[in-house]
Amino acid sequence: MSDLWLIEADVLAAISFSERHLRRLAREGKVISRASATKAANGRFVREYCIESFPTDLRERLLAVRGAITLLPQNSATAAEQPLLKIACVDEEEEAQAARREAACLAIANFEQHKAQWATVRLADGEPVTSISRLVEHLAAKYSSSPATIWRWHSRFKKGERLADRTREDKGRSRWFARHGDAAAAAAYIGLKWGAREAHRSLLSHHELLGIAKEEMPSYETVRSFLNSAPPAMSILVRDGERRYRDLISPYVRRGYNEYANQIWVSDHMIHDLFAQNDVFDDIPRGQRIRMRLTALLDFRARYVVGYSFAEEGSSISITTCLRQAIASYGACEEFYCDNGKDYKSVAKAALPAYLRDSGKAPQDWWQQELDTQAGVLARCGISIRHCIVRHPQSKHVERFFRTVHKQFDALFPTYSGSNPDRRPEFTSKAIAEHSRLERESARLIQMGKGINGLHQSLLPPATLVMKLFRAWLDEYHNTPHGGQGMDGRTPAQVFEQERNPLQRPAPADNVLALMLCSREQRMVRECSVTVGKRRFIGADFTAVKRLHDVSNCEVMVAYDPLDLDRVAVLDLDGNLICWAKPEEFLPQNTTQAANAIAESMQQRRRLERNTRDAYVAMRDAARASGVVTGVERLVNKVLALPPASEVPAVQRSSMARAAKAAAAAAPKVSQKYVGDVAEEIAGLMEGD
């Protein structure tokens, strides 16, 4: 605090406050006071007040009373060698203005003492400065003001009043619009959205509705100045929309970095700001111009990318692929932080909410309370879920990593697209036009049967090349010092290793991980195979083929990674592994390899049939040994135990009744022995099967 203090009696004399009011201000902390070293007649210490704790307009009076004047030597013959009053002003511009006017006032006040020096100064008409009136004329010319203004400064100086001009209370506000509230509302409504020019036209066309004469309507400059005085927050919200307003204006809070590395993972999708030509995705034509999507899994503490995948469109499949990479390499995290998209809600289905992770209040059957359907991959891996605030990109700092990718990786390519078409480089537009021409030319040649593809001449890089270069760039990113909060100048790789979670769970076996993270679909086993995505999968070995053979024509669950169809897992409906299946390979025609494969397949078929027959025969023999008979044998035994029937109760058609009766009389009688022979023959046939 400054050492400019003034006793209470002098303060009261300078600013005309009552003693009671002044002491109340001191109690409320609006001014600063203390006990001085001087004692009053009653023996108490006199109170003194800090001049700088008073409002600006009162400091000048207090300084004048105290005589706080700093002596500054004047080298110029046009100024008296008298002190300049150092007055505390609101800003530097006002302070300089007060200093200039103070110098003029001091020259007038001390004219008589330095009259001989001023005699050497000449006015514009050549006359010397021999009187105060002539001095005022000289000062008016020097400060580009009138003599009356100089005398007004001098009057305020003698009274100890403020020398600098006071700031207008209505500065930055239009007095016309202050008088016409309806017009101000109309101008703001139109202008903030469509501009000052349209707002001015609207006011002129609605002057009768507003009840204002047309000649009293404001000019365009008045309207423009009024709209420029609107708060930037309002202008951004109205003109640029809610998303821009939330990104630039809305306040937000930040989380600390007290967690361990590999404890919390943050994930989202990003569209690369570069054009490439497709040479990897089967769902779109080869050579087509694309902007790939990147799905990234970022460690919250270390900013280390633990998993990523490229796709034509981000989905739960690309998320699952990232999770498989991360868990296989570093083990599962404790918490997964993501947005509220359908794809992330799919992988988070039935996962434990993060706020219950350490509370000890998580119910034992929490996955059943949320859903009765199949759980998502996070629930299978025991990872809790936390969704960020809806439409609030600041919530997850993976967005900051994506901005780094755009600026440091995408911008390296000559086919950089920019964040919008307006910022697209000219070279990129030419490359796109050339690529489109090559696409049309290649399609025409293929249609003519020439089969020539000229897309290799395109300036657009292949998608596989972009993926390889991104992997190299990501390695540089991991080993570059990071200036973010909690990083202390270390690289993401260093923080990830040094701050690793001491309670980290180990990574599961590959087979178990594949079963936990794969997509699952119910399929029917037909001819010892299952079909996934129009591809037929057969057993990976003979044991797998035999197990598929045993569940033929049965419903099974097929677990697979759509981005890695080298093998799929066949499960029963309870989730137990039956076998692993591989994609079927088509055989070429008339080759030794095809002949050998066909021979092996036929041998396999015979083995399966023989094994099935042997298994049945073994069961039949065991049943017969225990006395089990078939249904036909049981009925035959009943027939043998009954007396022979004298007549068969069969009804014939009337036209043939006599002939049938005669034929029956001529036929030999069926003996008891003949029926027994028939039963033995049937039993023999059953045993032969």
Residue 313 has pLDDT above 60, yes or no: yes
Per-residue model confidence (pLDDT) at position 69: 31
Mean pLDDT, range 643-670, rounded to an integer? 59
Per-residue model confidence (pLDDT) at position 650: 62
pLDDT band at 636 (very low <50, low <70, confident <90, very high): confident
Please, what is the Cα angle at 59 between 56 and 63, to 5 degrees?
155
CA distance linking residue 463 with residue 413, whole number of Å? 12
Per-residue model confidence (pLDDT) at position 432: 81
CA distance linking residue 664 with residue 670, whole number of Å? 11
Choice between 319 and 628, residue whose per-residue pLDDT is larger: 319
Strands 45-50 and 5-7: antiparallel
CA distance linking residue 119 with residue 285, whole number of Å? 96
Please, what is the Cα angle at 403 between 397 and 408, to 5 degrees?
130
Mean pLDDT, range 43-59, rounded to an integer? 80
pLDDT band at 630 (very low <50, low <70, confident <90, very high): confident
pLDDT band at 491 (very low <50, low <70, confident <90, very high): very high
Per-residue model confidence (pLDDT) at position 467: 93
Per-residue model confidence (pLDDT) at position 660: 61
The answer to which of 197-211, 296-310, 659-673 has the lowest mean pLDDT is 659-673
Q: Which amino acid is at 672?
A: Q
CA distance linking residue 436 with residue 447, whole number of Å? 17
The answer to which of 47-56, 381-390, 514-523 has the lowest mean pLDDT is 514-523
- Residue closest to 611 by CA, chosen among 554, 524, 549: 549
Cβ–Cβ < 8 Å for 137, 127: no
Choice between 109 and 661, residue whose per-residue pLDDT is larger: 109
CA distance linking residue 181 with residue 204, whole number of Å? 15
Mean pLDDT, range 657-677, rounded to an integer? 57
Q: How far is Cα of residue 526 from the mean position of the Cα atoms in its chain?
A: 44
Residue 366 has pLDDT above 60, yes or no: no
DSSP 353: B
Per-residue model confidence (pLDDT) at position 361: 56
Cα dist from 25 to 17, 21, 31, whole Å: 11, 6, 6
Paired strand residues for 519: 560
Burial of 214 (0-12, 13-18, 19+ CB in 10 A): exposed
Q: What are the tokens at 296?
A: 């990234």
Mean pLDDT, range 61-89, rounded to an integer? 44
Count other Cβ atoms within 10 Å, centred on residue 347. 26
Per-residue model confidence (pLDDT) at position 465: 92
At 511-523, the pLDDT tens digits run 677 666 677 788 9
Residue 684 has pLDDT above 70, yes or no: no
Residue 72 has pLDDT above 50, yes or no: no
H, E, C per residue of 400-423: HHHHHHHHHCHHHCCCECCCCHHH
**Average pLDDT, whole number, for the chain?**
78
At 178-236, the pLDDT tens digits run 787 877 787 777 887 888 888 888 888 888 888 888 888 888 888 888 888 888 888 88
Mean pLDDT, range 281-296, rounded to an integer? 87
Mean pLDDT, range 118-144, rounded to an integer? 81
Mean pLDDT, range 439-450, rounded to an integer? 69
Domains recognised in the chain with CATH numbers: 5-159 (no CATH), 175-248 (no CATH), 264-413+461-498 (3.30.420.10), 518-585 (2.30.30), 631-688 (no CATH)
Residue 637 has pLDDT above 90, yes or no: no
CA distance linking residue 73 with residue 87, whole number of Å? 18
Residue 78 has pLDDT above 50, yes or no: no
The answer to which of 326-340, 364-378, 517-531, 639-653 has the lowest mean pLDDT is 364-378
- Residue closest to 276 by CA, chosen among 422, 466, 475, 419: 466
H, E, C per residue of 225-246: HHHHCCCHHHHHHHHHCHHHHH
Residue 642 has pLDDT above 80, yes or no: no
